[in-house]
Amino acid sequence: MAWTEWVGYGASVLIAASLMMSSVVRLRWLNLAGATVFTVYGVLVQAYPVAVLNALMVGVNLWHLMRMGRREEHFSLLEVGGPGDPLVELLLTDHRQEVARLFPDYDPAGLDTPRATVILRDLAAAGVVVWTLADGTVRIHLDWVRPAFRDLRCARFFLEEMTPVWRGTGARRVVSPAGGQTHHDYLRRVGFRADGNTEFVWELAQDPPGEPG
């Protein structure tokens, strides 16, 4: 097999992987990479229609990514009537299996005075955090964001807004269940540190994460 064929196969894999992304930003970046490689492949094998088509796709993806980068989004928090609130139930209904996988110990019925905060992104309900506060510790029981909004902006905004609120109550730290490896990586990226095998901790004495983005 000629090495140029491997270039074509690699481009195909990137394009196929892009179509599996739930995040529009990730879809665009992967599709851009696949279209770029396909453009090179078309030139190498002198399949110029393939090269031209994919060069156009590169331009389209770049245009969309630049628009996304320039667009300012509005974030806000909405505290609702607890984890049994209809809005929270609506958000979680279609993703119960994923929630159970990421947060196997989540049981709102067993929580003492749980609070539920919905994260709004351009007035769309993007995610929900269920948490409790006791003995100086904020304990997060559920921290779930809709797949299309998983770019850390929601998490950073939530922590930035809630930090002064929690500090005002005398809380000293935030504790989150570890969940699976994907959730591990997410918690580290927003500033938590591992505390044993089952929990991650974020000290409220730290400055909150930077602006969303």
Q: What CATH number is associated with residue 184?
A: 3.40.630.30
Q: Quick one: 85 and 184 in the same domain?
A: yes
**Direct distance between the N- and C-terminal alpha carbons of the chain, in angstroms, rounded to an integer:** 43
Please state, in angstroms and rounded to a whole number, the distance separating the CA atoms of residues 174 and 161: 14
pLDDT band at 131 (very low <50, low <70, confident <90, very high): very high
E strands present in 108-172: 115-121, 124-134, 137-145
Helix (H/G/I), strand (E/B), else coil: 72: coil
Give me the percent of the chain exceeding a pLDDT of 90.
36
Same domain, 91 and 174: yes
Question: Residue 159 belongs to what domain range?
Answer: 75-203
Say how far apart CA 165 and CA 26 lie, in whole Å: 33
Q: How far apart are CA 122 and CA 77, in angstroms?
A: 11
In terms of domains, do 95 and 62 share one?
A: no
Q: Which range has the worst mean pLDDT, 4-8, 75-79, 123-127, 138-142?
A: 4-8
* Domain end (from 12, 45, 70): 70
Q: How far apart are CA 6 and CA 209, in angstroms?
A: 42
Rounded mean pLDDT of the chain?
A: 86
Q: How far is CA 115 from CA 19, 48, 152, 187, 208, in A?
A: 36, 59, 21, 20, 20
Q: How many CB atoms are located within 10 Å of the residue 141 CB?
A: 22
Tokens of 55: 């060069």
Phi first, then psi: give them for residue 189, nearest 5 degrees. -65, -25
In contact, 45 and 7? CB cutoff 8 Å: no
The reported pTM is: 0.68
Query: Is residue 213 one of the residues assigned to a domain?
Result: no
Place of tokens 């930035």: 160
Q: What's the domain count of the chain?
A: 2
Q: Is residue 211, in this structure, part of any structural domain at all? A: no
Residue 149 — very low, low, confident or very high, per pLDDT cuts 50/70/90?
Answer: confident
Mean pLDDT, residues 15-30 taken together: 80
Type of residue numbered 38: F
Are 162 and 204 a contacting pair, CB within 8 Å? no
Nearest to 131 by CA among 121, 120, 144: 144
Q: Are residues 66 and 145 in the same domain?
A: no
Single out the residue in 17, 43, 70 at which a domain terminates.
70
